[in-house]
Homo-oligomer: A and B are copies of this chain.
Amino acid sequence: MYQRNRIYISPEEQEKIKNTRILIAGAGLGSNIAECALRLGFEKISICDMDNVEHSNLNRQNYTSVDIENSKVESLFSRLKSINPNAEIHYHNVFLTENNCSEYIENIDIAINTIDFTSNAPFIFDEICLKNGIPILHPFNFGWAGCVFVINKWSESLNSIVQNDIQPEVSIVEHIIQNCKSDVNLLWLRDVLQTFKQEKGESSPPQLAPASWITAGICANLLFKLANNKPTKIFPNFYLLTAN
């Protein structure tokens, strides 16, 4: 299945990612990332989420209308196994919390944190991963832009920009806008943020398919780098890609 990866990926690197165990915490944006990582060659993937698929997810997440009202993790498991029946895919129909995180990060090499910012769970998750020496990717969907933070023992923590915020997403977007390279035009993101703030948290943040796709591509690339001990930018620096 992976012969067209040749030249870009050496046989040793391919073997390395095959045996690197990744945990995808959250099967929303995580559903896009899981498929891209599997097709690159990550064959040991665990997924945690307790949501069911909703019709409003289909504008960007990796589900179909047949999956609506079914468990996200079971739907994603089926999709991944249909692509590579030999892959070791494990799923847990569970919300990760302060109390249960630890058991799911046992025997994991890299974590991807896409847990909703509706509780302190994403922050606790990072803490427990770091205590166990596990690096974390934090991917974000900014509509037309894909964005990923790498958190490890040398990086800052997400808490350094998000302190007791009711809407951490707002602080994260502001961090991006203030610190992105000067040749990247993010005026459109500034406008979207302005409108979103006026909604005062009445609705979930808007998200588009292009950012989910771009973010999945970035994450698969960074998983490859981390698995093979290649350097990456670390938070508060970040990866931001957009064609907008």
Among residues 101 to 143 in chain A, which have CB atoms less than 8 Å away from a CB atom of chain B? 143
Bound together, the chains give a CA A79 to CA B39 distance in angstroms of 17
Q: Which residue of B66, B242, B244 contacts A82 across the interface (Cβ within 8 Å)?
A: B66
Chain B residues within 8 Å of A83, by CB? 58, 64-65
Q: Is A91 an interface residue, CB under 8 A from the partner?
A: no
- CB-defined contacts of A171 to chain B, threshold 8 Å: none
Distance, CA A242 to CA B146, complexed state (A): 11
Binds B, one of A18-26, A156-164, A217-225: A217-225
Evaluate contact between B206 and A217: CB separation under 8 angstroms.
no
Assembled-state Cα–Cα distance A239/B66 (Å): 35
- Chain A, range 196-244, C-beta contacts under 8 Å to B: 196, 203-204, 206-214, 216-218, 220-222, 239, 241-244
Instruction: Identify the closest chain B residue to A39 (Cβ).
Output: B209
Q: List A residues at the B interface (Cβ < 8 Å).
A: 1-9, 32, 36-37, 39-41, 55-60, 64-66, 79, 82-85, 143-144, 146, 148, 181, 183, 192, 195-196, 203-204, 206-214, 216-218, 220-222, 239, 241-244
A85 to B56 Cα, complex, angstroms = 14
Residue of B whose beta carbon sits closest to that of A38: B209
Copies of this chain in its oligomeric complex: 2
Chain B residue nearest in CB terms to A239: B243
A210 touches B40 (CB 8 A): yes
- Smallest CB-CB A-B distances: 9 pairs: A213-B217, A214-B217, A39-B209, A64-B82, A210-B217, A8-B143, A241-B241, A218-B243, A40-B209
Q: List 11 A-B contacts (CB under 8 A).
A: A1-B55, A4-B56, A4-B204, A6-B206, A7-B143, A7-B195, A8-B192, A39-B209, A64-B82, A209-B217, A213-B220
**In the complex, chain B residues whose CB is within 8 Å of the CB of A243:** 148, 217-218, 221-222, 239, 241
Given contacts A55-B1, A192-B7, contact A221 B207 (CB under 8 A): no
